[in-house]
A and B are shown apart, each in its own frame.
Chain A
Amino acid sequence: MRIAILTAIAALVLAGCQTMTSRDEQRVLTADEVTRLFVGNTVESHNLNTSFTSFTYYHPNGQAVQERLWVRRLGTWSIQDDGQICLAFGKRKAKCRHLVIDGGKYFKVLPDEEGANKKIVRYRYFAEGNALAKR
């Protein structure tokens, strides 16, 4: 009986550790995870360098509609096999970046000079459908 209780406690502690690890460690998102988060959704993102907020709808047909400071622009998006999301607006070349989850929060990252992931955008909210069409 005593062994059973101790085993149960140990299992609970270990489960807790596992939960903490998966929540706290930074991890690069797979293409499937990125697809689930973005495709057909409107996403609120906060640029950590400029502190600007933008709202982007990722249409399943590859078109992106983005609003920043009440001004909209059209672009295109795609997701690469390694999970990088690529965005292009206007005549500019597409920029492809990895996304990470860190402490339950989602970020876009850019490798710095030492190869470490530098967070450049924080994704604040993911909403189903084209929320920009309603406004």
Chain B
Amino acid sequence: MGCLRDLSILCVLSGAASAAVPVGSVVMYSDGKVEKLLSYEKGQLLWEDDRKRQFLRSENPIIPVFSRTNFLSGKGYSQSVVEGNPYSIDALPVGTRVNFTVIRAKHSGEKSTRNWECRRLGSRQENVLGVTRKLDIFTCERFVLHRKTWQKQFRESREFSYSRELGLVVEIQRKTRKRASGWRLVSIVPPEKTSYRHLSKKVRKLRNAK
């Protein structure tokens, strides 16, 4: 999107490939969350929210955030896939279960293992912010294995739609053992319109409407 068609090869070769939404864009969600895309490199997108917490995410929407870092405290964690191949989900038939394991390492040194099972449920056309777009639908479940019985114990589930064109999750429903929550994409502000005046007006309206 950020590179002209004629320059696309040059952009890729120079490592300056662009994300689906241009770097510098600000996206807003129905739960009041606001994030800015800071960079896009080698399929990894660095987002920052209005509390300046940074999130490094994969282009593959089933992979949990690679890292999260709080601004002033520096606290956070990084995650890496240590087992399974979440990238295989696109090549496999719809409905195929893809299992993978992630190690979460907190910056404080504490480590934990997180098991995921995801499925691509198919795709549908939907109006997203005034434009009809193809959305891929995914469902993921996180679980732990019981120490003795090795039975799966539910921790959380996420069902979400993802637009490859935008490179964004459009809507998500999340459930844990205690609560259910969800949000949907409500606005994409292009980099040239991210003045404080413009953003604050939109954010105020969004958070007042919650």
Residues of A within 8 A of B (CB): 42, 44, 50-53, 55, 67-71, 73, 125-127, 131, 135
For chain A, what secondary structure do more than half of its interface residues adopt (helix, strand, loop), or is it mixed?
A: strand
Q: Chain B residues near A55 (CB, 8 Å)?
A: 52, 71-72
Bound: A2/B196 CA distance, A: 68
Nearest B-chain residue to A68, judged by Cβ: B196
Bound: A131/B26 CA distance, A: 22
Q: A52-B203, A69-B196, A69-B199 are in contact. Are A42 and B72 (CB under 8 A)?
A: yes
How many Å from the CB of A121 to the closest CB on chain B?
Answer: 14
Q: Chain B residues near A68 (CB, 8 Å)?
A: 50, 196, 200
Q: Chain A residues near B196 (CB, 8 Å)?
A: 68-69, 71, 73
- Please give me the 8 A-B residue pairs with the lowest Cβ-Cβ distance, nearest first: A71-B196, A127-B72, A69-B199, A125-B72, A53-B51, A51-B207, A53-B50, A44-B72
Q: Chain A residues near B48 (CB, 8 Å)?
A: 70
Q: Chain A residues near B203 (CB, 8 Å)?
A: 52, 69
* Contact call A52/B195, Cβ cutoff below 8 A: no
Nearest A-chain residue to B36, judged by Cβ: A70
Q: Chain A residues near B32 (CB, 8 Å)?
A: 51
Q: Mark B191-210, 1 if CB is under 8 A from A, else 0.
A: 00011100110011001000
Q: Chain B residues near A53 (CB, 8 Å)?
A: 50-52
Bound: A95/B51 CA distance, A: 24
Bound: A64/B106 CA distance, A: 33
Residue of A50, A69, A73, A126 with highest tally of chain B CB at under 10 A? A69
How many Å from the CB of A55 to the closest CB on chain B?
Answer: 7
How many Å from the CB of A110 to the closest CB on chain B?
Answer: 19
Residue of A44, A70, A71 with highest tally of chain B CB at under 10 A? A70
